[in-house]
């Protein structure tokens, strides 16, 4: 069953954690670690939480329309979380869009695409794992 309210509430939880984690990484961790280590911190800490929220979403939306619900979560969580992080960086540090797009330069070894892939793939994988077949 598709539950947009559940999808929205879980996204709010993800976005809040990601932005708060960025704040911690940019303030407390940046003083003690290298820039690359802070980037990895800002990606690896939210990953288990994103997976947990995807599992919660999959369990709440299991049923005959699990794929539609998983696609809804995947297609909404990914761009909206990226936008939330962009606005955080823009309003806090005055970061230009080009500087934010440098986070996606995986050929330089930046880890940010891992978080984006997790936001896109976790709802689909969890939905597939928790789908239920409806017997008629």
Q: What is the pTM of this model?
A: 0.90
Above 50 in pLDDT, residue 34?
yes
Quick one: pLDDT at residue 133?
A: 60
Above 50 in pLDDT, residue 82?
yes
Give 46 or 109, the one with higher predicted confidence.
46
pLDDT digits (tens, 9 = 90+) for 10-19: 999 999 999 9
Of the candidates 17, 8, 12, the one whose C-alpha atom is nearest the C-alpha of residue 45 is 17
Mean pLDDT over 107-135 rounds to 88
Domain parsing of the chain, residue ranges = 4-129
**How far, in Å, CA of 42 to CA of 36, rounded?**
10
Sign of CA dihedral 14, 3, 87, 122: positive
Burial 50-73 (b: 16+ CB within 10 A, else e): bbebbbbbbebbbeebbeebbebb
When pLDDT is cut at 50, 70 and 90, the band that residue 136 belongs to is very low
């Amino acid at each position: 069953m598709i539950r947009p309210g559940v999808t929205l509430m879980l996204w709010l939880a993800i976005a809040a954690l990601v932005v708060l984690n960025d704040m911690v990484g940019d303030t407390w961790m940046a003083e003690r670690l290298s820039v690359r280590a802070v980037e990895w911190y800002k990606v690896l800490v939210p990953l288990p939480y994103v997976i947990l929220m995807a599992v919660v979403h999959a369990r709440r939306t299991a049923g005959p329309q699990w794929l539609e619900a998983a696609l809804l979560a995947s297609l909404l969580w990914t761009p909206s979380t990226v936008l939330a992080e962009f606005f955080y960086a823009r309003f806090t540090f005055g970061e230009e869009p080009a500087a934010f797009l440098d986070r996606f330069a995986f050929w330089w070894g930046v880890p940010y695409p891992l978080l984006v892939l997790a936001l896109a793939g976790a709802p689909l994988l969890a939905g597939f794992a928790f789908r239920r077949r409806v017997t008629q």
